[in-house]
Structure 1
Amino acid sequence: MAGNGSEPERVCVVGAGPAGLSAARALQRLGIAYDQYERHNDVGGIWSLDNPGTPMYESAHFISSRKTSGFFDFPMPEDFPDYPGHRLILQYTRDFADAYGLREAIRFGTAVSAVERSGDAWAVTAEDGSRHRYRAVVCATGVTWTPRMPRHPGTFTGEIRHSSSYRSPEEFRGKRVLVVGLGNSGADIACDAAASAEAAFVSVRRGYHLIPKHIFGVPSDEFAAKGPRLPLRLERPLFAATLRLLQGDLTRYGLPKPDHKLFESHPLLNSQLIHHLQHGDVAVRPDIASLDGDRVRFTDGTGERIDLVLYATGYDWDIPYAEKYFTWNDGRPELYLTAFSREHRNLFGLGYLEINSSAYTVFDHISNILAQYLHDQEHAPARAARFDRMIAKDRPRLDGGIRFLDSARHRSYVDAHAYRGYLGTIGGHMGWTGLTPGMFDRQRRSA
């Protein structure tokens, strides 16, 4: 797979989920030769329930809406609902791969076991024993494959699982269920338990701002995007006042008062949870203090008899095949613009970020810059060297002025508007072409 020179010409993309497919399309558009490895038997990543280890479950839906999500220049179909379910998202992702002929470069059923530095290139070893050298490696294998399981003192005689093993509300029939954690998955699963379990509880350590999926009949993110872009000092109180008008005081349902301002944490987008709290179908409990036989004790001194404890407590990020080449801080890789290794040239991590809106489109923006940088290495080396200096020294703020919570999760958080804006600034500074409507038309095939 090497070119005519002493070093290889091809790029390796690891993973064929949304981020990997975004990278592949960007490379393809600029004529950069690449190979792509995917350990599962089709594209789609976490969105396929058939993929072992996926965190997906039957009731899972997108938490950003159809019109604000999706790949750039490839909108979701108009007949999709406002918040498509996992089956439609999987269909859409596979249609995207077909539309741009991306399957042809993918080695399905082939996991990467190791990435090693090899001179000025990278040696990639697959689990089947094959080994190839590449000039660059794009790691795009995702962040929700390694479940995080807390430990609580005591012994529990019931069932303990992580939410990654959960698939169907039928698993709750006849059981007293405690869901631990109130992120978006935890809230969804708590609603499933509320409708199916004998009794449902959710353990919450802190309060969150709960945003309904629709505001005045319009998807929340679309509602926010339609209005004028206001300074945060104006946007936050206006949006908070709208939420109070629509929802009232959520503490009366047992939810703790948030210990942070609106937008300072990952948005909890759910319209069903309040319904189930209002009807007593699910009850809020504080953090777990200990486990005691068939009972769970909470920090307020109360306890409940529980059959199943389901931890919706998130995932540890890892890149096992190239772990040692990344600098990690609180479990997050430190990458320029969330994608470029500062220490190792042509090692990239795509999709290793937390963001408050439209991740697919953001993948396309950063993939575009990544591809143009690789293209310049061959065709405009002086400009590529200028970007090398930016990778080493530029320290942009991508939080949009929001002081995100001081936690490991939120240290990798970026504001979508600020992130896209800065990527546009970088593109203009470098003389690179930004994403424009219709730019992929010639590349697209009929699906």
Structure 2
Amino acid sequence: MSVKRVAIIGGGAAGLINAQRFTKAGADVVIFEIGTKLGGLWMFGNDSGRSSAYRSLHINTTRDATHFDEFPFRTAPKMFPSHEDMAVYLNTFADDNGLRERTRFRAEVKRVEPVVEEVDGVSVTKWSVTAADGFEGVFDTVVVATGHLTEPRMPASLSAFGGELLHSHSYTEPQPFRGKRVLVIGTGNSALDIAADLAVVAGRTVISARSPELIMPKIIFGNPVGKYEGMVKKKWLPKDTHILVRRIITRIVHGRMETWGLQTPKGRTHPISHATLVNHMAYDRVKVRPGIRTISDRAVTFTDGTREEFDTIIAATGYDLSFPFFDESIVSLDSGGSLNLYGRAVSPRWPGLYFAGYFNTTGLSNLRIDDYQSRWFVALETGKTILPDLATMRAEIDEVKVWVKRRYPNTPRYAFELDPPLYLKFLQQEERLGPKRIAESGRPAAFLAANRSAADRSTLRSASAA
């Protein structure tokens, strides 16, 4: 392809694999990193202020599934890699591929806006990028990879608490809470890790679990639980057989959730797992209470009528998402907390604008999905495939929202939920349909890769629907 300039916003896993794929395709790539380190979320103590890693953090997927497709771990880390393992892995990947030299550190992106240039009589949309280090430049392509676990969501109702209040994003280790009465709000994986950390240090540890949750074990018969789920993911078996296996294993190892003060979910939820928390519950080191009704100074009254006083509340209450460097006309979240993106990643309206890593997944690591997404982006930018018409893209976006709403609780937590087999099938279909769409467009592939305007989305692209 002709040399394109590609801006990657964010030096975490999604940003690095996109930088590597575009560099390999011949693009001139610049990575904009807000801090001084590569690794994003997995860099404990990252001076970017955007990492939510804590000292005991391990990834939830196994080492065999937690790597880019063509770059496995060089040394065999533990079964579930730690944040140290992941930071070393990502930095090794960056150095092996010359990505550190392509990175502008302390370069928070302040503004990204479209600019229209006339190229051989054709209006072409490019992107002006302005960064805090004084950089100003124009790029053909922008990949946004700033992550969706960086802006803590703190419920306003917690402001009534008279003790120490912090979000799980700010939690790093249990020692500061020695002897304290601590309430952890939430039942996501981070909340469970934090409660387990505190169990042997805090004076009292309580989890407030508003929603039903299934706490899976990590290992059974010496193998990760995911191994047994994978064994039943066969085309000739019902597609949700692995979920049944997950529930059976959990029932065998942990019993009924009600035994521990939780509620067993009736429908599908995002899987959570922990190796030791249920044992801490059995030893009465961690208690479970339902949702919060009221807070008065340090006293918390729960929906079952029980009341306790706490010194500290740690709110594992999720994250908000925003893109302050974009005008809202470029991208914004809808009322359900979703980004209106084709294939979870591509702007239907704006050429050359991609969003990498904005999903939650189970059964396959985020890194592997990041990798597959990056290949799609490169294929689009090199003219190997093109997008369908606007109507098709909007229909797919709506279908995804219906799919999420039908399968998961209707809360912002599930807005980015993704099913790996279905998503990989979608990406394979995009690759397969590319030549057909190019032929139907009546334009050479090189033209499609080099000349894009905002009008492409409604005119040139719509030729495939004719």
| Same-fold status (TM-score > 0.5) | yes
In structure 2, do the counterparts of structure 1 residues 392 and 400 end up closer, same or farther at CA, with 3 Å as the change threshold?
closer
For residues 175-214 of structure 1, what are the structure 2 equivalents within 5 Å? 175-214=180-219
Question: Structure 1 residue 223 and structure 2 residue 228: aligned?
Answer: yes
Secondary structure at the aligned position of 2:284 is classed as coil
Report the CA distance between 1:63 and its aligned residue: 0.8
**TM-score (normalizing by structure 2):** 0.84
- Is this contact kept in 2: 1:17–1:43, CA < 8 A? yes
Q: Tell me the matched-pair count.
A: 419
Report the CA distance between 1:320 and its aligned residue: 1.6
Aligned-partner Cα distance in 1 for 2:218–2:325: 38
Aligned-partner Cα distance in 1 for 2:158–2:404: 40
- Tell me which amino acid in the other structure corresponds to 1:93: L
| 1:137 corresponds to | 142
Tell me which moved more, 367-376 or 411-420. 411-420
Aligned-partner Cα distance in 2 for 1:232–1:266: 16
Report the CA distance between 1:411 and its aligned residue: 2.9
Secondary structure at the aligned position of 2:414 is classed as helix
Question: Structure 1 residue 269 and structure 2 residue 273: aligned?
Answer: yes
Aligned-partner Cα distance in 2 for 1:340–1:155: 41
Aligned-partner Cα distance in 1 for 2:131–2:348: 25
Secondary structure at the aligned position of 2:411 is classed as coil
Tell me which moved more, 228-237 or 94-103. 228-237
| 2:66 corresponds to | 69
- Tell me which amino acid in the other structure corresponds to 2:28: A
In structure 2, do the counterparts of structure 1 residues 391 and 245 end up closer, same or farther at CA, with 3 Å as the change threshold?
same
Tell me which moved more, 93-102 or 364-373. 93-102
- Is this contact kept in 2: 1:13–1:35, CA < 8 A? yes
Question: Structure 1 residue 168 and structure 2 residue 173: aligned?
Answer: yes
* Match of residue 7, structure 2, among 9, 12, 15: 12
- Tell me which amino acid in the other structure corresponds to 1:422: F
| 2:297 corresponds to | 293
Aligned-partner Cα distance in 1 for 2:394–2:186: 38
Aligned-partner Cα distance in 1 for 2:23–2:205: 49
Tell me which moved more, 247-256 or 402-411. 402-411
Aligned-partner Cα distance in 2 for 1:402–1:156: 36
Secondary structure at the aligned position of 1:133 is classed as strand
Deviation per CA, 1:397-445: give whole Å up to 9, x if none. Answer: 596997122222223211012111221122122259xxxxxxxxxxxxx
Report the CA distance between 1:387 and its aligned residue: 7.7
RMSD (Å), alpha carbons: 2.4
| 1:87 corresponds to | 84
| 1:240 corresponds to | 247
Secondary structure at the aligned position of 1:40 is classed as coil
Report the CA distance between 1:133 and its aligned residue: 0.8
Aligned-partner Cα distance in 2 for 1:102–1:233: 40
- Tell me which amino acid in the other structure corresponds to 2:55: E
| 2:156 corresponds to | 151
- Is this contact kept in 1: 2:318–2:413, CA < 8 A? no
In structure 2, do the counterparts of structure 1 residues 40 and 225 end up closer, same or farther at CA, with 3 Å as the change threshold?
same
Report the CA distance between 1:72 and its aligned residue: 1.1
Question: Structure 1 residue 255 and structure 2 residue 262: aligned?
Answer: yes
Aligned-partner Cα distance in 2 for 1:153–1:100: 46
- Is this contact kept in 2: 1:34–1:105, CA < 8 A? yes
Tell me which moved more, 270-279 or 409-418. 409-418
- Tell me which amino acid in the other structure corresponds to 2:18: A
In structure 2, do the counterparts of structure 1 residues 313 and 153 end up closer, same or farther at CA, with 3 Å as the change threshold?
closer
Question: Structure 1 residue 281 and structure 2 residue 285: aligned?
Answer: yes
Deviation per CA, 1:48-95: give whole Å up to 9, x if none. Answer: 123224211111110111111111111124520011111111111111
Question: Structure 1 residue 374 and structure 2 residue 393: aligned?
Answer: no
Tell me which moved more, 139-148 or 220-229. 220-229
For residues 324-343 of structure 1, what are the structure 2 equivalents within 5 Å? 324=328, 325-329=330-334, 330-343=336-349
Report the CA distance between 1:257 and its aligned residue: 2.7
Aligned-partner Cα distance in 2 for 1:326–1:183: 28
| 1:427 corresponds to | 431
Secondary structure at the aligned position of 2:157 is classed as coil
Q: Which has the higher contact order (CA 8 A, sep 6+)?
A: 1
- Is this contact kept in 2: 1:335–1:342, CA < 8 A? yes
Consecutive unaligned residues of structure 1, counting only runs of 5 or more, are 433-447
Report the CA distance between 1:275 and its aligned residue: 0.7
Report the CA distance between 1:391 and its aligned residue: 4.4
Identical residues among aligned pairs (%): 31
Tell me which moved more, 419-428 or 386-395. 386-395
* Match of residue 106, structure 1, among 85, 103, 110: 103
Aligned-partner Cα distance in 2 for 1:248–1:362: 33
| 1:50 corresponds to | 45
In structure 2, do the counterparts of structure 1 residues 294 and 397 end up closer, same or farther at CA, with 3 Å as the change threshold?
closer
| 1:441 corresponds to | none
Question: Structure 1 residue 352 and structure 2 residue 349: aligned?
Answer: no
Report the CA distance between 1:128 and its aligned residue: 2.4
- Tell me which amino acid in the other structure corresponds to 2:198: A
Deviation per CA, 1:29-66: give whole Å up to 9, x if none. Answer: 21122211111112101111232242111111101111
Consecutive unaligned residues of structure 2, counting only runs of 5 or more, are 117-124, 437-466
